[in-house]
Structure 1
Amino acid sequence: MTALRAVLFDFSGTLFRVESTEAWLRAVLADRDISLSEPDLAETARALEAAGALPGGANPSRLPGELAGLWEVRDQGSAQHRAAYTALSRQVPLPDPALHDALYERHMSPAAWSPYPDAVEVLAGLRERGIAVGVVSNIGWDLRPVFRAHGLDRFVDTYALSYEHGVRKPDPRLFRLACTALDADPRTVLMVGDDPDRDGGAAALGCAVCFVDHLPADRRPDGLRPVLDQVV
């Protein structure tokens, strides 16, 4: 393979993992000083997960037909993203209707996200080797504060976020934006992600691609380390 000049990473499920649906719900209820019994809280969390209401979590187990169009464009703008996920949340009864928006706000907070255990090591290793790093994400909000809060922003040279450009993976245009920002020929770029269908779109430009498992952070301690083996 041609010597790498840059590595692009997906965000959710690749460099960071969102908190569990139950932890997400608990945090918002605690912030609003609302109590649910443990059985009710567990059942509500299960219902929210099945609905696909947590961005970065599981996809809906059954997408309501009236939301299909909105779901399709959810990553192309911040308004669409909020509308899609709060609509999914509203499929589940909550003690206070205001909790649906509060849950959406919570998922954008740095506290809702944890970097994978080897993320700092791998990003620092790439920086030491002179390899540029970009983040390419289908997302409806600005994830830069999450990187800053966890100390990873210093390793990232550019972000290509779908909502800022109105185009989403696997469209090659989003990957090209990142490559151009890094002044890197796509043939010298590796794309790392957890979704072959979306992240694999980088291959259309000539990028190499590799995939990691979308697992909770404590179950994937070293999934990113093989990236360093590909740097020559």
Structure 2
Amino acid sequence: MSHPIQAILFDGVGTLFRPRGSVGEVYHAVAAQHRPDLTPEELEAAFREELATAEPMAFPGLSPEHLKAMELQWWYDRVYRIFARFDILLDFETYRDQIYEAFRGPAWVPYPETRDTLVQLRERGLTVAVLSNFDSRLPEVLDHLGLTPLVDHAVYASPHGVAKPDPRLFAIALERCGVGPEAAVHVGDELGDDVSGARAAGIRPVLVDRDRRRLSTVELPVIHRLDELLPLLERL
């Protein structure tokens, strides 16, 4: 390898941590009050469809207060569109806040191997960053999970005006880490946001496939758990 690895960038949700229970279950706890016939699976599918077609949550040049207000409105719009599909808009202003608050720090859990993997990367002298399309709750989530001391930089999309897979967000993370793209690896669970975005930025991608649906190749290394990253780095 011509350029030694100096920094590891990690996606957040689905890579380092996951919801405590499914997103569909959180939405169902509210929806069941009005539509008991709906299932968590239906609401989960609606959430994923809505998220896939939504404009990026990216608002450049705003004050912290205005930024949080824009993030909140972005999420309110998502919740409204999801519940409108099922004609559940009674008391919307009440339960939209319930859903937003449900995804703060306590709503998330790290994967079992996350902490040890980050510790070992830091022990090797590598810079560790989180690069996420999450919002300004990300530092709170990392802190709640006890990961803040193990992360050198946390970069999230909303204040920068760009979101993954835009290579400009990757460039911001590289600048924070003080390395060029040739000295970094990006680890994430999405082919579009993570793999394509990293490649567009000139960064080597590693795909996290916890469902074991893909095989590792020279062009795209695949791991099933984060602790598989450590031996993989020796071969990149």
TM superposition score normalised by structure 1 = 0.77
Match of 1:198 in 2: 193
Match of 2:71 in 1: 78
Q: Check whether the contact 1:187–1:206 (CA below 8 A) recurs between aligned residues.
A: yes
Q: How many residues align?
A: 207
Cα distance in 2 for partners of 1:16, 1:10 equals 9
Match of 1:17 in 2: 18
Cα distance in 2 for partners of 1:141, 1:214 equals 26
What whole-Å deviation, never above 9, does each CA across 1:15-54 have from its counterpart, x for those lacking one? Answer: 111231354247x66xxxx9859x92x72534422321xx
Q: Check whether the contact 2:11–2:131 (CA below 8 A) recurs between aligned residues.
A: yes
Report the AA paired with residue 162 of structure 1.
A
What whole-Å deviation, never above 9, does each CA across 1:163-189 have from its counterpart, x for those lacking one? Answer: 010101111111111111111121010
Alignment of 1:187 with 2:182, yes or no, is yes
Cα distance in 1 for partners of 2:187, 2:175 equals 17
Cα distance in 2 for partners of 1:123, 1:6 equals 12
Report the AA paired with residue 75 of structure 2.
R
Once the 2 structures are TM-superposed, how far is the Cα of residue 210 of structure 1 from its aligned partner?
A: 0.4
Shift in alpha-carbon separation, 1:103–1:3, aligned structure 2, 3 A: same
Match of 1:55 in 2: none
Once the 2 structures are TM-superposed, how far is the Cα of residue 136 of structure 1 from its aligned partner?
A: 0.7
Q: Check whether the contact 1:86–1:101 (CA below 8 A) recurs between aligned residues.
A: no
Match of 2:166 in 1: 171
Unaligned stretches of 5+ residues in structure 2: 60-69, 212-222
Shift in alpha-carbon separation, 1:82–1:214, aligned structure 2, 3 A: farther
TM superposition score normalised by structure 2 = 0.76
The 5 Å alignment of 1:1-232 reads 1=1, 2-18=3-19, 19-21=21-23, 23-25=25-27, 40=36, 43-52=38-47, 59-60=48-49, 71-76=54-59, 78-79=71-72, 81-91=74-84, 92=86, 93=88, 96-97=91-92, 98-107=94-103, 109-200=104-195, 201-213=197-209, 223-232=225-234
Unaligned stretches of 5+ residues in structure 1: 53-58, 216-220
Report % sequence identity.
Answer: 33
Match of 2:66 in 1: none
* 2:109 alignment partner, SS class: strand
Q: Check whether the contact 1:139–1:161 (CA below 8 A) recurs between aligned residues.
A: yes
Report the AA paired with residue 139 of structure 1.
F
